[in-house]
Each structure stands twice: as structure tokens, then as C-alpha cells.
């Protein structure tokens, strides 16, 4: 209790940006029933502007859209018309390609080592512009800009916000070394936030995306730390007697739900982000753990075995009566609420298989989403469309993702070592 607010400078923090290199290769399995056909003409680049070949901004945009499973990115090399701005578009050629939408653009060098990126998105049949924007960026912002353009295209054509410009966190284990990593949502530019010879689990993003809470065993017992992704500074949020685990930020970022044992069972508490104001939420003689907040901040969903086997319950965030939420199956754990608050994702064990499951909170209807067998740690994308999770592939921890309707499946494979405990960061502003 005394140590809660002691700020530690992290001497073993390593910030190693690796540009243009993916830590995770993402393979798409399946896709939506109706994919939107889109053509993306390679952006023109002026002589002294970077970004040709694989780094061409249009390649990154195309990979983003393809990975979502909602788009069919058309081959454009056979088309004579290669426009980079509106007046150059010859619509009949793109109608012939059966493109529904077309993206064109260019990258131009500006004085002072800046770049101007401009793009247009047009509806091929209606021959009108759906979006057109210009960005004045530093050269190292090219990938981020490509993701932002992909987000705009995604939103204009699907009606939902894109999540390509977001980040994910996960834990790697290589040999005896554990590392908490943050990477772009497409697996590029991984950075090590913290590393340790003891396990790190349960990373949780602050709603503003500037901090991660996580559980570290570096002191031979689980302690919750909060670390700034901006400064690298961290502090022990909870270092009470017994276990300190399962941090989850409230939607307003002011409090966290955590789990403490003291010298008995795991129980759910809430605590201010600075480590003050501890309040007990659950009071049972059973295991109560894995708290997550409802989007309105009023309720906390959690896992409890108070009925004899682990099931998911809901309780007012200030404490009170818990109500059981899952009824099918004998082992339902790791609740996560969709960003719109309408669906609950969790892990169900049935006949020895642990799979990602989604439940409509209004109707109670349940659907098993994944076709893997050792799934853990589901995490919704900020738009609710995909669920990232950990699984086992070939005896190694690996990440996978499935769309919340079960149609699109992705496998994210890392070269070397285990990957686990994914958490999808909040939407970019």
C-alpha cells in the first residue's frame, strides 16, 4: 500500500522502432460474402520523394483493405488509364474492370524535407468523388498516412470507422525473455515497451492510448504497473499483499478495475489511476476475476466460479448484486464488451476446446466464432468488427483474429518465439 505511488524509472525499457518491417505476418482466411471491388492506382511519386515499390502508399492501403476481408482489391496493371488526379480518370476503363470504387493519388516532395500526399476516392458508376484529402507530412509518417487514407476509404464504403491507423499490444516470449510490445495494427513497427525474465500478462490500454497497464511477475509475484508510452515512465499501481492482477481501464480513464487476493480469494476492486481510492466491488467466497467495464462505465462484467464453474457475471461498478450473464456451457471466461455495448465476447471451453464465442446481450443468442482450439484473451477492434485473440499454432503461442460475424478469419504469425495476450488499442484521433 505504501509503494503504490512510488514512481519508478524504468531502466530496462527498450524503444527500438523498426521501420518497414512486420513482426507479424497476417494471413487472411475467408472473407465477407460480398466484397467491395476497389481499384487502387499506384500513387505517383516525384523524383526526390520516397515511397516506391513495396513502400508505395497504395500497396499499404491495398493490404489494409484486403486484410479486412470486406474488399476485393483489383489488379490495375492491365489497365491503360493510370490516373493520379480527377481530370485524368477515364471512367469506362474502370467500369470495364468492374471496379465499384477507385482510389488515385500522388506523393510530392515539399521544401524542408516534407511530403505532400494527396488522394481521391471516387464512385466509378456515379462518377463522383467520395473523398479527397491532402496531407503535409514528414517522410517517416508515410505508413501512418497510408493507414489513415485506408480508414477513410473503409468508412466511406462500409459506413463504419476503419481501424487501420490503430495499434495493438501483445506479449512475446523468446527463450526466457518476455517482452510487452506495441505495433501498428498491421504488425509493422513493433516496439518493446518493457521486457523481463519473468512473465508479463494482461496488458490493458488506457482509453486515450497513451498508457498501458499490465501485470509483471518480475518481483516473483504479480504486481500491476502503469506505463506511459510517451515517456516510458512507469509506476506500480497496485502492489498489495498477495496477487495484483487483471487491470482494466474505466471508459473515462480515471479508474481501473483490478483483482486483489490479499491472503484469500481473487476479488474485484476499483482504484484511481494514481493508486488512491481503493474500493471493493465483489464480495464472495469464490474466484472473481477478469473485470471489464461496460462502455457507459456503470457496470463491470467479470468471471466468477461462485456457481461451481466459471461463468460471466455483471455487477454495478460501485458494488451490489451480481447477475449471471452466461448460461450455456460449463466454462466461460475472459469477458470483453463490444464498443457499442451490445455484444459480449468470451472464451468457452467445450469438449476440451477453448474457442472465441460471442453473445448478443439483448437476445442472449450465442455463436462460437473461432475454429481454433486453445483460444485466450479476446480483444475487440475499436469499431467492433474484428476480435483479436491468442491461440496455439504448431505448439507455439500465436495470434489470430475473427470478425464478429465469424466470416473473416486472420492468422498472425510471428517468426520465432511465442506471442500471446493481445490487446487492441483505442481508435486513433
Partner 1 sequence: MNKSLIMSLVLVATLAACSSKAPKEAPAKVDDMSMNQSGAAGAGDSAASTSGTSTSGMEVNPLKDPNNILSKRSVYFDYDKDDVKAEYRPMIEAHAKYLLANPSAKVVLQGNTDERGSREYNLSLGQRRAVAVKNVMNLLGVQDKQIETVSFGEEKANTSMQDESAYKQDRRTDIVYEGE
Residues between 283 and 312 that touch partner 1 (CB under 8 A): 287-290, 303, 305, 309-310
Judged by beta carbon, residue 250 or residue 266, the one nearer partner 1 is 266
For residue 332, which phi and psi values (nearest 5 degrees)? Answer: -125, 120
Q: What number of CA atoms fall less than 13 Å from residue 65's CA on the CB side? A: 31
| Closest to 404 measured CA to CA, from 379, 377, 369 | 369
Residues 298 and 314: beta-carbon distance below 8 Å: no
417 binds partner 1 (CB under 8 A): yes
Q: How far is the CB of 151 from partner 1 (least distance, A)?
A: 32
DSSP label of 57: H
Q: Are 30 and 409 in contact (CB under 8 A)?
A: yes
In sequence order, what DSSP letters do the residues of 88-151 get, joined into one string?
G--HHHHHHTT-SEEEEEEEEEETTTEEEEEEEEEETTTTEEEEEEEEEE-GGGHHHHHHHHHH
218 near partner 1, judged by CB under 8 A: no
Interface with partner 1, residue 123, by CB under 8 A: no
Q: Would you give the binding string for partner 1 spanning residues 263-282, x where CB under 8 A is met?
A: xxxx----------------
What is the rounded distance in angstroms from the CA atom of residue 48 to the CA atom of residue 343?
Answer: 49
How many residues are given for the chain? 429
Q: How far is the CB of 256 from partner 1 (least distance, A)?
A: 14
Which cell is 190 given?
A: 513493433
Q: Is 76 in the site for partner 1 (CB under 8 A)?
A: no
Nearest-approach distance from CB 1 to partner 1, in angstroms = 17
User: Site residues for partner 1, window 364-393 (CB under 8 A)?
Assistant: 374, 376-377, 392
Neighbours of 218 (CB within 10 A): 17
Rg from Cα positions in the chain: 23
Residue 243 makes contact with partner 1 by CB under 8 A: yes
Interacting stretch for partner 1, rule CB under 8 A, among 11-19, 97-105, 173-181, 401-409? 173-181
Binding of partner 1 at residue 199 (CB under 8 A)?
yes
Residue 415 binding partner 1, by CB under 8 A = no
Give the integer Cα–Cα distance in Å for 307 and 311.
8
Least distance from C-beta 330 to partner 1, angstroms?
A: 9
Does 347 bind partner 1 (CB under 8 A)? Our answer is yes
Q: Which triple of cell numbers denotes residue 100?
A: 465499384
Element (H, E) at 156: helix 142-158
The verdict on 398 binding partner 1 (CB under 8 A) reads: no
Q: Whole-number minimum distance, CB 200 to partner 1, in Å?
A: 9
Give yes or no for residue 394 binding partner 1 (CB under 8 A).
no
Residue 108 phi, psi dihedral angles, 5° rounding:
-125, 145
Q: Does 334 bind partner 1 (CB under 8 A)?
A: yes
Contact between 354 and partner 1 per CB under 8 A = yes
Shortest Cβ 292–partner 1 spacing (Å): 11
**Binding residues for partner 1 (CB under 8 A):** 173-176, 199, 201-202, 217, 220-222, 242-243, 245-246, 259, 261, 263-266, 287-290, 303, 305, 309-310, 331, 333-334, 347, 349, 354, 374, 376-377, 392, 395, 417-418, 420-421
Amino acid at each position: 500500500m505504501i509503494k503504490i505511488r512510488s514512481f519508478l524509472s524504468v531502466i530496462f525499457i527498450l524503444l527500438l522502432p523498426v521501420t518497414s518491417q512486420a513482426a507479424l505476418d497476417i494471413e487472411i482466411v475467408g472473407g465477407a460474402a460480398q466484397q467491395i471491388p476497389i481499384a487502387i492506382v499506384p500513387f505517383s511519386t516525384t523524383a526526390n520523394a520516397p515511397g516506391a515499390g513495396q513502400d508505395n502508399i497504395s500497396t499499404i492501403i491495398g493490404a489494409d483493405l484486403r486484410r479486412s476481408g470486406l474488399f476485393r482489391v483489383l489488379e490495375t496493371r492491365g489497365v491503360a488509364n493510370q490516373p493520379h488526379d480527377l481530370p485524368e480518370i477515364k471512367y469506362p476503363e474502370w467500369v470495364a474492370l468492374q471496379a465499384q470504387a477507385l482510389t488515385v493519388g500522388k506523393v510530392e516532395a515539399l521544401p524542408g524535407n516534407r511530403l505532400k500526399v494527396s488522394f481521391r476516392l471516387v464512385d466509378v458508376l456515379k462518377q463522383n468523388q467520395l473523398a479527397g484529402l491532402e496531407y503535409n507530412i514528414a517522410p517517416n509518417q508515410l505508413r501512418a498516412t497510408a493507414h489513415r487514407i485506408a480508414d477513410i476509404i473503409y468508412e466511406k464504403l462500409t459506413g463504419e470507422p476503419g481501424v487501420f491507423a490503430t495499434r495493438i499490444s501483445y506479449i512475446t516470449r523468446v527463450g526466457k525473455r518476455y517482452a510487452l510490445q506495441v505495433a501498428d495494427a498491421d504488425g509493422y513497427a513493433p516496439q518493446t515497451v518493457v521486457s523481463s525474465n519473468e512473465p508479463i500478462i494482461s496488458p490493458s490500454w488506457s482509453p486515450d492510448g497513451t498508457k498501458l497497464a499490465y501485470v509483471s511477475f518480475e518481483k516473483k509475484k504479480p504486481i500491476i504497473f502503469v506505463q506511459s508510452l510517451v515517456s516510458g515512465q512507469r509506476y506500480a499501481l497496485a502492489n498489495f499483499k498477495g496477487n495484483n492482477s487483471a487491470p482494466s481501464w474505466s471508459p473515462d480513464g480515471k479508474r481501473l478495475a483490478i483483482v486483489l487476493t490479499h491472503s484469500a480469494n481473487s476479488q474485484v476492486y476499483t482504484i484511481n489511476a494514481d493508486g488512491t481510492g481503493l474500493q471493493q466491488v465483489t464480495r464472495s467466497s469464490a474466484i472473481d476475476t477478469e473485470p471489464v467495464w461496460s462502455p457507459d462505465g456503470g457496470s463491470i462484467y467479470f468471471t466468477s466460479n461462485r456457481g461451481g464453474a466459471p461463468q460471466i457475471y455483471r455487477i454495478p461498478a460501485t458494488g451490489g448484486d451480481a447477475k449471471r450473464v452466461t448460461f450455456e456451457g460449463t466454462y466461460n471466461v475472459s469477458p470483453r464488451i463490444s464498443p457499442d455495448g451490445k455484444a459480449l465476447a468470451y472464451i468457452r471451453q467445450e469438449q476440451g476446446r477453448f474457442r472465441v464465442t460471442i453473445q448478443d446481450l439483448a437476445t442472449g443468442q450465442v455463436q462460437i466464432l473461432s475454429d481454433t482450439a486453445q483460444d485466450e484473451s479476446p480483444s475487440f477492434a475499436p469499431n467492433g468488427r474484428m476480435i483479436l485473440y491468442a491461440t496455439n499454432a504448431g505448439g507455439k503461442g500465436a495470434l489470430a483474429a475473427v470478425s464478429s460475424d465469424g466470416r473473416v478469419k486472420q492468422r498472425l504469425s510471428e517468426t520465432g518465439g511465442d506471442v500471446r495476450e493481445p490487446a487492441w488499442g483505442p481508435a486513433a484521433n
